[in-house]
Structure 1
């Protein structure tokens, strides 16, 4: 590319076909008289066709691909002391993938060279793809040719789509390509802005209440906490770190540090998987308490579930990190100028298999537990007098909402959203996420106080035996078990 001016100076004719290697072809046209310089168009029908020079861009309509270099670009080249004005266009069919393994329309990369740096064109270079069959959202990108792999950017390029026709209008000369965003990763720019604001506000609000829970536990009630409460604290800690990593994710992505973004993506993924695991642990703990009537006789019970819940996600994250699937991911919108960068898993297949598969197993366990507890609460209402029902109806609602957050039921809106319901589900999830920390705070407050009233020295009794006995969860503390025979009560 850098020696095209030498080739143009040594040419005898006005144009020449160029071959730079397998899958790389080009064509060069020069103008010996600067005053005769006008716009020039290059066109071809398919990847196997040779490129042609078209004097009038209107004559390029029959071709499926065309590039038009305006007269302004030639004038700028002359003003920058290019001795012989020329334009060289190249087509690359074997360009290396970028770090994100982006999908390029037709696997075609084009480049335009004029022997000098041409920027800030008001009459822009026009790149046309006509009658193209594609899936996804096209976005015109450029690359300055630096680095071992392309680093595509949308700076200086505008994307225009009309049915099956795609036009890129760019104000500079460089490498060009049309990147395709999968349809399920593209939303409207207005929805993206709204969801971003709601999510950031929701994460901040949740972190406030989650921070209060951690403060109350470690500085005020740690010695009186039951094992059920301690499990809840592990979940609160994982969720607090997940919200924190999400809030700083975009700032790290904007630093454009590949290593920093990989570390950020791995941390956020680890805290998310840890949070999911603690959802499942909460559900299994409640099931064990219901089955064992509040007494779990498993040696080193809390230590075992803690090791599993914190170590298992780290193994998954390390494997994904070793295979190099963490990095910067671009969230595209209907407006090509509105994009958001974040550090996350760059391979959509890995995301679906690991995250959605992992959460599906957790959701199966937690949702089943949630249905069991709901049926238990309804059974309690039928067995209790009306006055007692009215007194506890408000607490039951808070308990149910706390259970939804504690068991991660609301995350199903984010992972199982599909089709026309995808955007509404995202809004529902972001709103529920805003109250996640609040309901966990209320749930923790009720749990700790209920534990004190019914099990004042529960932690001391658990230390005096080789087996671990847990005190009741909030539900077990506040309600009688309707499935327990009355003669068994003491």
Structure 2
């Protein structure tokens, strides 16, 4: 196998050095005349009638004969009214426009004098064109279907009419007190359940107006004696009397609600824990429960918090318990306190309450009727903000309650409590913070707070709750985490981060946002900082700076050098511009992580620019493949037309669609704590790596296929100089496409395992010098470009010489004009 490859390579090298030969027939007529042309003599060809070339006489096989579009020149072709011009190969035809037909019966004609087109009456030809509930109306060149009143066309077939549902389409004038009933071609307005027509108003016609039936005052309700009837619009509800609560399993605010006298919530010591201090606390709680009355809710709340404050100020024998039991006691206290305060607060009057105690325990509580606004509870060390609509349980007519308890003494029982991170966050943190949580347990940085609502279903809030913690200063090499206490099935628990995120942190304050309620705190975890490799940083900035200069020179060359402008240089220009903008934005803005929105925009823009760069690389490879495939048929014009239609929609459209999908699905994953780039969380980075792998794979396949085509070309080698030169250039560009514009990106994906550092250096060096490679391959190694550079250089030297001569001449004239003086 190796011998065959070597022989092919040797033959390829020999073929590249063969001289060209004459490409003309010994009989005196050129054999290389392009398609749609005729031979003039041994050295010239002329395009057939209906075709044109760049010059009237063709003297080189590189020129082609293109069809003349006679229809594009209206001054030369006039088909007349109601007709269209159709271009054909070498000629044209006039045909009647759709909806018209020729009286003469001829399908085509050549000019306006032969035009006999007239309108076709489709409705007369086929009376059943418009189906049920529709009528046909003839128009010039076509027809339309019109639906009867109360009907409309179906989207699938504009000829079929269907009934308009005035009730759901918003076209009915029914009064808001009525219910709309749709009929075929019409509708009715009827009173809703719990409503009746106002005196003198009929029930059913379009002008019906209804009024609410007051079931409570009229005695039409069926409320239990333990409830109070409340009339609602169109219905009524039965609510528990003050100091009462719904029986277990029966919802409140329903027509069948049954209530019972409200008692104090059961709160007993945790099983298996032996502590005299804790037992005395629960004895006080039980005494308060036995003497509880709904009117004493305010005093009962203060007494419970006073007892809890004293317990945590002097824990006594609780501090001698094992750490695990201390965590279990804290979990039991937090869970029970939340239930007791939620139940007691429902008997409070509307308003804002604030209680504070010597050991630092604080309670902020607000009771209101259902309102549509946000609420903010402030304490010395914590602030909570949420929407009122989160506080009220659906269907509960009682007051809305929002409470916040700050318990600094709970930190004694929660010392060294474990932290359990969700797998994705654990992976993300270890990518940016080496050694996180490896050396000991996290430290409790803030007070422990507990938040509760009258709605006890707070595991998945429709809008997040924001907490602002004040805490002691964060020392260096510490990671601040927003956490909540997750109760375990064994009665204990642990700190967790699911559903909570750190919005921002300063030296002595942290903002957290959570989608559920529980007990919260701010933890501080030690980590080792990942330091950047300074050598890679220097290589990156130096390489990108040089590449930017080369890309700018390459882009100016492709724009200004008229001799090389074609489809290929258009591809080179777009690739250079995209890569220039991407590298420039990378240099100046990749580290702008201070502003979240700005960093997100930068990350999204970099994502788009680098995807656009990769897409233009793919188009480069595709163009080389198509050009190599068409070497044997000399059909360059078809390739150029195909690429001109394809390259801009694909080159800029495909990256835009990819970035739009990524931004719409997970916009918050644009921007990392250290870089304005895509986050690896939830596989989001594959929005970039996926296209990289796909494009590199396609480029590799196109490269191999191109080499195979060139191998077959070698087998039919002749002495055509121009074809030889094209094939040699294609082979060189195909190799450059793979090793310069493709393989550099796969090195970035291979930065794993023991070879990661080596791959990182290779990726940084080669990729940062992409602009240099592009300028070298497509400009400096191009003979046409070098000749143009020479012309520009001579022009500049000539202008410089003329400028110097003009300056010397002006100086001489000035000297001769000065008067001489005699001493």
TM-score, normalised relative to structure 1:
0.54
Deviations 1:384-409 (A, max 9, x none): xxxxxxxxxxx999968843465322
CA pair 451-431 structure 1, distance change in 2 beyond 3 A: closer
SS of equivalent to 1:150: strand
CA pair 187-209 structure 1, distance change in 2 beyond 3 A: farther
Q: Which residue in 2 is equivalent to 1:290?
A: 628
CA pair 187-438 structure 1, distance change in 2 beyond 3 A: farther
CA pair 206-348 structure 1, distance change in 2 beyond 3 A: farther
CA pair 373-189 structure 1, distance change in 2 beyond 3 A: farther
CA pair 452-247 structure 1, distance change in 2 beyond 3 A: closer
The answer to whether structure 1 residue 356 and structure 2 residue 689 are counterparts is yes
CA pair 229-314 structure 1, distance change in 2 beyond 3 A: same
Asked if the contact 1:229–1:447 (Cα under 8 Å) also holds between the matched residues in 2, the reply is no
Instruction: Give 1:425 deviation, angstroms.
Output: 0.7
Looking at structure 2, the residues matched to 276 and 243 of structure 1 have their Cα atoms a distance apart, in angstroms, of: 13
Instruction: Give 1:95 deviation, angstroms.
Output: 11
- The one of 147, 150, 155 equivalent to 2:502 is 150
Asked if the contact 1:401–1:439 (Cα under 8 Å) also holds between the matched residues in 2, the reply is no
Asked if the contact 1:111–1:176 (Cα under 8 Å) also holds between the matched residues in 2, the reply is yes
Larger Rg: 2
What are the ranges of 5 or more consecutive residues in structure 2 without an aligned counterpart? 1-300, 332-358, 360-379, 382-406, 431-435, 450-468, 485-499, 510-519, 718-728, 788-823
Asked if the contact 1:111–1:175 (Cα under 8 Å) also holds between the matched residues in 2, the reply is yes
Alignment of 1:207-356 (within 5 A): 207-218=548-559, 220-222=560-562, 224-253=564-593, 255-257=594-596, 259-293=597-631, 295-298=636-639, 299-327=641-669, 329-330=671-672, 340-345=674-679, 347-352=681-686, 354-356=687-689
Instruction: Give 1:194 deviation, angstroms.
Output: 3.2
Please provide the CA RMSD for this pair.
Answer: 5.4
Looking at structure 1, the residues matched to 638 and 679 of structure 2 have their Cα atoms a distance apart, in angstroms, of: 40
Looking at structure 1, the residues matched to 676 and 585 of structure 2 have their Cα atoms a distance apart, in angstroms, of: 11
Looking at structure 1, the residues matched to 557 and 780 of structure 2 have their Cα atoms a distance apart, in angstroms, of: 13
Instruction: Give 1:31 deviation, angstroms.
Output: 6.0
TM-score, normalised relative to structure 2:
0.34
Q: Which residue in 1 is equivalent to 2:328?
A: 49
Looking at structure 1, the residues matched to 322 and 550 of structure 2 have their Cα atoms a distance apart, in angstroms, of: 61
Higher helix share: 1
Instruction: Give 1:120 deviation, angstroms.
Output: 4.6
When structure 1 is superposed on structure 2, of 92-101 and 259-268 the one drifting more is 92-101
SS of equivalent to 1:176: strand
Q: Which residue in 1 is equivalent to 2:752?
A: 418
Looking at structure 1, the residues matched to 546 and 429 of structure 2 have their Cα atoms a distance apart, in angstroms, of: 38
Instruction: Give 1:266 deviation, angstroms.
Output: 1.2
Asked if the contact 1:402–1:442 (Cα under 8 Å) also holds between the matched residues in 2, the reply is no
Looking at structure 2, the residues matched to 197 and 414 of structure 1 have their Cα atoms a distance apart, in angstroms, of: 18
SS of equivalent to 2:677: strand
When structure 1 is superposed on structure 2, of 343-352 and 223-232 the one drifting more is 343-352
Looking at structure 1, the residues matched to 546 and 746 of structure 2 have their Cα atoms a distance apart, in angstroms, of: 21
Asked if the contact 2:536–2:764 (Cα under 8 Å) also holds between the matched residues in 1, the reply is yes
Instruction: Give 1:311 deviation, angstroms.
Output: 0.4
